Amino acid sequence: MPAAKFVPLIVGLGGTTRDGSSSEVALRFALKAAEKAGAETALLAGADLDLPMYAPEKPERSPGAEQLVSLLRRSHGVIITSPGYHGSISGLIKNALDYVEDMREDGDAYFEGRAVGCVACAYGWQATGSTLAALRSIVHALRGWPTPIGVAINTSQRIFDGEGNCLDAGVAKQLELMASQVVDFSRMRAASKANASA
């Protein structure tokens, strides 16, 4: 399929158990930017990620965990947003990412061959930096390709309005660039695989 016609699936993971959290709103904004760049998107946020603790020795999976792994298997790229809790990612996001272990035997194991956009939201710059670094480190461990730009959002200021519009032009530009990098990488990899099999 020509790269221009290829429609990648970008899966977004993030937020908190509180509806409308800054990390969830940032994720929705980024996924809209991915759609404008020509991608199909799927959102797993908040309650969708409130899963049983990952237990590798137990093969049984909740419906929510099965949905998570199924979408990630089909994905061509991923966007993850996490709040900064005590200087790192939240337990909710970490537990969701632990389920990627179920993909270890896949042809593209874990996040192999997928661009992953990382966003950290925290009340202050110190926590945004350490949370973003932790998230990017986890993506590397899962064999993903963190996008060149990672987005740190300081929520000590009002960044989004009630409709999800970004009030900070700099943050909006970074989220849009990060989303476009995820989509562009997905297209480049699809074209590379098509050329290799031609």
**Dihedral angle of Cα 132, 115, 96, 99, to the nearest 10 degrees:** -130
3-state class (DSSP) for residue 82: strand
- Please report whether residue 132 resides in a domain: yes
In a domain, 161, yes or no: yes
| CA quadruple 127, 34, 160, 48: dihedral, nearest 10 | -70
Residues 6+ apart with CB under 8 A from 192: none
Q: Is residue 83 part of a domain?
A: yes
Residue 40 inside a domain? The answer is yes
Task: Assess whether pLDDT exceeds 70 at residue 154.
Answer: yes
Does residue 1 fall inside a structural domain? no
- For residue 114, is it within any domain? yes
The two three-digit tokens of residue 121, written as one number:
């939201």
CATH number at residue 133: 3.40.50.360
Range of the domain at 13: 9-197
User: For residues 148 and 124, is the Cβ–Cβ distance under 8 A?
Assistant: no
Q: Is the pLDDT of residue 193 over 60?
A: yes
pLDDT category of residue 104 using cuts at 50, 70 and 90: very high
State the helix-helix crossing angle for 91-98 and 125-141, rounded to 10 degrees.
10
| Position 4 in a domain | no
Residue owning tokens 């700099």: 170
For residue 120, being part of any structural domain is answered with yes
Q: Rounded to an integer, what distance in angstroms lies between the CA atom of residue 51 and that of residue 54?
A: 8
Q: Give the pLDDT band (50/70/90) at residue 2.
A: low
DSSP state of 54: P
**Per-residue model confidence as pLDDT tens digits over 109-152:** 999 999 999 999 999 999 999 999 999 999 999 999 999 999 99
Domain count within the chain? 1
Residues forming a β-bridge with 153 = 121
- Output the pLDDT for position 196: 81
d(CA 189, CA 68): 23
